Amino acid sequence: MQHKPVLVTRSSLPDLEEYVKEIKPIFDSAWLTNMGPVHQKFEQKLENYLKVPNVSLFCNGHLSLFIAIKALRLSGEVITTPFSFASTTHAIADNGLRPVFCDIDPDTYTLDPQKIESLITRHTTAIIPVHVYGNVCNMEVIESIAKKHNLKVIYDAAHAFGVEINGEGIGNFGDVSMFSFHATKVFNTIEGGALTYRDKALKDLLYNLKNFGITSQTTVEDIGTNAKMNEFQAAMGICNLRHVDDEIKKRKRIVERYWEHLENIPGIKLNPQQQGVKTNYAYFPVVFDEKAFGKSRDQVVDELAKEKIFVRKYFYPLINDYECYRSIYSSKATPIAKEIADSVVTLPLFADLELNIVDEICEIILQ
Ligand code: T4K
């Protein structure tokens, strides 16, 4: 085929002139970081866009999740999903806590709430579910379990920027939600992340924890870290926020095209459209049932690669199969997650992906 290599995603960028205009005041003032005026302006704009009362910005999604866990003073065990990016579990383990893996729901790939309660022990202090691919977790059941057992809930909403449920911003649920603004996400600040939460009292603590725990020039109250979003990242965020709705519209068109080709094909399972959910079309996962489809996921990946289409197996391997965890855990304990991890690919999806490339991708898959 005549096209350039097609990767799983491609960062959305504003026009160069637009970004230059946005960073000009940073050059004029020489205030580059440490929660400057652009950072503050962006934080407010995000509160509006995400329809949440409080946003705190960070240099990336991972450190924001790490700090959320620290801020809630969790201890002991945390129930989470193995079907995610490394960040989710690493943030728990790096806080000195024990991740406890719960299996996932076979339709949404999010934590299966029916399996949570049997994993709760007297050491459990929190649940960290993931809105994986932007699919919304069963928050009602998760939060009723949390309430019953007095557990905190932190949602890893890295994939869920702009997602709403029944008109409400997804960042309003649980104790805290974490968003990633990495270059590969629907909305990016180059690198970046944010926490959203209803409890205003968290604001100062989060501010201090991302700035070494410093509370004044002569007081350091906590063992914090450096996780501040700088002014150039915030400026990129302000620019990209102007265009994100258009980007999501373009993604929708691509997703619809994939559906036109791949719906109702035996052995192919597409990502569910959830009722009441305004989605952001973050990823396009496809699960292959080798018996019904006739080819395995890995064969499909290889065939596409021959045509310079480089899909990704998000999220394979499962986290409980990672070298750094597998001596303590077994993926046999989470069989549904294992099955999905072994049979899923995420197809290329980004705003400027041409529809004829989508047609080609589907043609190769269906041949
Ligand atoms: N929780 C969840 C559930 C997550 O998925 C993530 C991140 C996090 C937490 C942590 O958030 P951050 O700390 O990252 O903010 C990528 C991303 O680096 C990572 O942010 C993301 N999840 C994960 C799912 O994907 P890789 O190692 O697969 O990225 P890489 O470099 O292979 O890039 C993938 C494709 O993206 C490339 O083939 C082309 C495109 N790309 C990449 C970069 C770096 C661009 O177009 N521009 C770029 O600058 O992890």
pLDDT digits (tens, 9 = 90+) for 126-156: 999 999 999 999 999 999 999 999 999 999 9
Neighbours of 121 (CB within 10 A): 12
11 lines ligand 1 (CB under 6 A): yes
Task: Looking at the structure, give the CATH architecture of the domain made up of residues 16-239.
Answer: 3-Layer(aba) Sandwich (3.40)
Angle at 106 between CA 103 and CA 112, to 5 degrees: 40
Fill in the amino acid letter for 118: S
134 lines ligand 1 (CB under 6 A): no
133 lines ligand 1 (CB under 6 A): no
Which mutation among 177, 184, 347 tests ligand 1's pocket best, with the greatest number of atoms within 8 A of CB?
184
227 lines ligand 1 (CB under 6 A): no
Which mutation among 11, 64, 85, 236 tests ligand 1's pocket best, with the greatest number of atoms within 8 A of CB?
85
For ligand 1, the distance from its centroid to the CA atom of residue 182, given in whole angstroms, is 6
13 lines ligand 1 (CB under 6 A): no
Q: Whose CA is nearest to atom 42 of ligand 1?
A: 184
Q: What is the pTM of this model?
A: 0.98
How is 319-336 classified by DSSP, letter by letter? GGGSTTTTTT--GGGSHH
Where in the chain are all domains bearing CATH 3.40.640.10? Answer: 16-239
Q: What is the pLDDT of residue 175?
A: 98
Q: What is the pLDDT of residue 3?
A: 81
Strands 164-165 and 277-278: antiparallel
Q: What is the pLDDT of residue 272?
A: 85
Where in the chain are all domains bearing CATH 3.90.1150.10? Answer: 244-366
Residues in the chain where the model's pLDDT stays below 50: none
In angstroms, the Cα distances linking 45 to 33, 170, 293 are 18, 16, 46
316 lines ligand 1 (CB under 6 A): no
CA separation for the pair 206, 72 (Å, rounded): 10
Residue linked to tokens 């993604």: 251
In angstroms, what is the C-alpha Rg of the chain? 21
- Residue 133 is classified by DSSP as G
Does the 244-366 domain belong in CATH 1.20.120.1200? no
Q: What is the pLDDT of residue 1?
A: 59
Average pLDDT value over all residues in the chain: 97
313 lines ligand 1 (CB under 6 A): no
Shortest-distance atom of ligand 1 to CA 193: 15
Q: Whose CA is nearest to atom 12 of ligand 1?
A: 61
Cα–Cα nearest to 45, from 217, 182, 181, 226: 181
CA separation for the pair 101, 121 (Å, rounded): 13
CA separation for the pair 165, 202 (Å, rounded): 24
184 lines ligand 1 (CB under 6 A): yes
